[in-house]
Amino acid sequence: MIELAPSILSADFARLAEQVQSATEGGGTVIHVDIMDGHFVPNLTIGPPVVKSLRKATELPLDCHLMIENPDQFIPEFCEAGADWISVHQEACVHLNRTLNLIKSHGCVPGVVINPATPVDTLNEVLDIVDYVLVMSVNPGFGAQKFIPGAVRKIRRLADLRSERGLSYRIEVDGGIALDTVGDVVRAGAEILVAGNAVFGQGDPKINAQKLLKTAVEATLQKV
């Protein structure tokens, strides 16, 4: 099943609840929350207090994408604040197995993320303990960047590995997802589509979300 995860990074932070509501009316079913620390990525965003407020503003699952160093230090706090899904970067975790188990032990759904330069094979030993794998299709840190096409091959590889190994993780993609790129990622096997600029950049988030989701669902019908 295809799901749209609007990324609030491109939303108007002063009207967050309203913007989340409108993306939800457009068909968003997961809210993607980008957490940046100014170290792992060259930008700063939000922390647990905003997650706590968002928790009161929506019933949809909050997908917290941690782009931070030492995620173990903050995972309990994000879970406590109301995160439902938490993903950590392979590149940021020295003890990745431990970190994923920490997420699970706090009652959240664990996911792992790889940057554009990180091969899928670096995840071989954790694919059986994650609920989702997030493939970055831009270098993380900013919204509205250009889609890096190498992500398509990585998504396809993850879908193949999943069937070969009889696993059940879901495949999420993040970065540069818009009307012109969504078809390729969906046909490759992406199921959770993160979109920031394409939903909140210009115009009405509700209409933008509807169009993007419709294009994605149509692409599944062409999947070979």
Q: Closer to ligand DX5 by CB, 6 or 48: give it.
A: 6
Q: Which residue in 144, 159, 179, 217 binds ligand DX5 (CB under 6 A)?
A: 144
- C-alpha–C-alpha distance, residues 205 and 217, integer Å: 18
Is 110 a binding residue for ligand DX5 by CB under 6 A? The answer is no
- CB-neighbour burial class of residue 15 (10 A; exposed 0-12, middle 13-18, buried 19+): exposed
Secondary structure (3-state) at 28: strand
- C-alpha–C-alpha distance, residues 127 and 140, integer Å: 22
Is 10 a binding residue for ligand DX5 by CB under 6 A? The answer is yes
Is 71 a binding residue for ligand DX5 by CB under 6 A? The answer is no
Please give the angle made by the CA atoms of 183, 185 and 188, to the nearest 5 degrees.
105
- C-alpha–C-alpha distance, residues 56 and 200, integer Å: 21
Is 4 a binding residue for ligand DX5 by CB under 6 A? The answer is no
Q: How far is the CB of 61 from ligand DX5 (least distance, A)?
A: 15
CB 189 within 8 A of CB 157: no
- C-alpha–C-alpha distance, residues 53 and 192, integer Å: 24
Q: Which residue in 138, 186, 192, 193 binds ligand DX5 (CB under 6 A)?
A: 138
Q: Which residue in 3, 63, 172, 174 binds Zn ion (CB under 5 A)?
A: 174
**Contact characters 28-47, Zn ion, x per CB under 5 A:** ------x-------------
Q: How far is the CB of 137 from ligand DX5 (least distance, A)?
A: 8
Q: How far is the CB of 215 from ligand DX5 (least distance, A)?
A: 14
Question: Which residues are annotated as catalytic?
Answer: 34, 174
CB 19 within 8 A of CB 205: yes
Q: How far is the CB of 163 from ligand DX5 (least distance, A)?
A: 27
- C-alpha–C-alpha distance, residues 153 and 65, integer Å: 22
Site residues (vs ligand DX5, CB under 6 A): 7, 9-10, 32, 34, 65, 138, 140-145, 174-177, 194-198
Name the residues that contact Zn ion, by CB under 5 A: 34, 65, 174
